[in-house]
């Protein structure tokens, strides 16, 4: 049964110790000493990344490939003959610690093997000319990136305005003008990036929904018209006439139409109508009392 794979960090500590103590002897049936410390080098093979580790696959028909077999060599068991070997590449950080072990570019590879009498960790060897791992292509859903961009739009609560103005009572039977700060009626945009995909979400204000606090609501297709006492002939398309007196909490919510575009991937479209955070204001509604006086001197 194959022993557990040691981490490269733990193997590196033993490798440094081997440097201090001296060269490890060649293994049995290894007259060239390719598994020894001082002259063990390999060329070719491929590198693959799995679960955060980089592994080296040796070229076919080499002693390293033979040692990678899951089964022990045929014949009488040799206590020093490894099998079931996996080869973990140390990478640039290990080379920086141990120094190069052969021609550059290359890297230290650490074997972990099974077999009677095999001691792990075993000495590393230097590998050159290995094919690097293929770049992992991450498929990014642009719609997901667009939704993230939409969250960055930063909708703010509108500033409520009314006429009669805040602090003055509204009147029963008289239209109250409703509007929000015109400067808040503007297009917003935000971008988000994931991998090769960048999306831009654009929000356009489309309507304001006013909940008047008495069970009625008003929908205005724009910010409303600011009231000006200097223009008594002005009109508005956003108002409400109170049917009765009382104290009410008026709430205004701006709804935004959000669309998106993308670069780095095909896509684009509409994310629908999204509500911004509401704003509220308390108002008092009163009845205007009128006194009828007789005319023409009558009593």
pLDDT of residue 179: 96
Is there a single domain that holds both residue 278 and residue 219?
yes
pLDDT of residue 39: 55
Q: Which of 102, 128, 154 is the last residue of a domain?
A: 128
pLDDT of residue 163: 92
Q: Which of 128, 161, 181 is the last residue of a domain?
A: 128
Is there a single domain that holds both residue 178 and residue 282?
yes
Please count the structural domains in the chain.
Answer: 2
Domain of 245: which CATH number?
2.60.40.10
Beta strands in 181-267 (DSSP E): 188-194, 197-211, 217-220, 239-241, 246-263
Is there a single domain that holds both residue 57 and residue 94?
yes
pLDDT of residue 23: 32
Residue 137 lies in a domain: no
pLDDT of residue 154: 93
- pTM surpassing 0.85? no
Residue 133 lies in a domain: no
Is there a single domain that holds both residue 113 and residue 171?
no
Residue 158 lies in a domain: yes
Residue 42 lies in a domain: yes
Is there a single domain that holds both residue 150 and residue 253?
yes
Q: Which residues of the chain have pLDDT under 50?
A: 1-38, 298-299
pLDDT of residue 51: 83
Is there a single domain that holds both residue 158 and residue 73?
no
Domain extent at residue 54 = 8-128
- The Cα 198–Cα 189 span in angstroms is 13
Could you tell me if 142 and 197 are in contact, meaning their C-beta atoms sit under 8 angstroms apart?
A: yes
Residue 222 lies in a domain: yes
For residue 57, give the 3-state DSSP assignment: strand
């Amino acid at each position: 049964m194959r022993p557990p794979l040691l981490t490269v960090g733990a193997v590196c500590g033993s490798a440094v110790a081997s440097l201090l103590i001296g060269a490890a002897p060649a293994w049995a049936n290894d007259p060239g000493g390719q598994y020894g410390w001082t002259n063990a080098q390999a060329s070719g093979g491929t590198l693959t990344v799995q679960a955060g580790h980089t592994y080296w696959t040796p070229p076919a028909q080499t002693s390293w490939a033979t040692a990678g077999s899951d089964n022990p060599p045929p014949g009488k068991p040799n206590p020093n003959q490894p099998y079931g070997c996996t080869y973990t590449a140390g990478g640039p950080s290990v080379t920086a610690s141990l120094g190069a072990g052969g021609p550059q570019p290359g890297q230290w590879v650490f074997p972990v093997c099974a077999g009677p009498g095999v001691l792990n960790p075993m000495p590393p060897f230097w590998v050159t000319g290995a094919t690097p791992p293929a770049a992992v292509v991450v498929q990014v859903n642009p719609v997901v990136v667009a939704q993230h961009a939409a969250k960055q739009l930063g909708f703010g609560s509108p500033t409520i305005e009314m006429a009669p103005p805040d602090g003055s009572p509204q009147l029963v039977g008289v239209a109250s003008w409703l509007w929000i700060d015109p400067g808040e009626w503007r297009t917003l945009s935000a971008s988000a990036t994931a991998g090769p995909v960048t999306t831009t979400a654009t929000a356009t204000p489309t309507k304001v929904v006013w909940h008047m606090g008495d069970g009625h609501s008003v929908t205005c297709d724009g910010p409303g018209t600011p009231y000006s006492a200097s223009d008594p002939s002005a009109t508005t398309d956003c108002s409400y006439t109170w049917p009765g007196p009382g104290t009410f909490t008026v709430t205004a919510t701006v709804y935004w139409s959000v669309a998106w575009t993308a670069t780095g991937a095909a896509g684009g479209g509409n994310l629908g109508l999204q509500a911004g955070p509401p704003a509220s204001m308390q108002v008092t509604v009163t009845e205007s009392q009128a006194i009828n006086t007789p005319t023409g001197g009558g009593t």
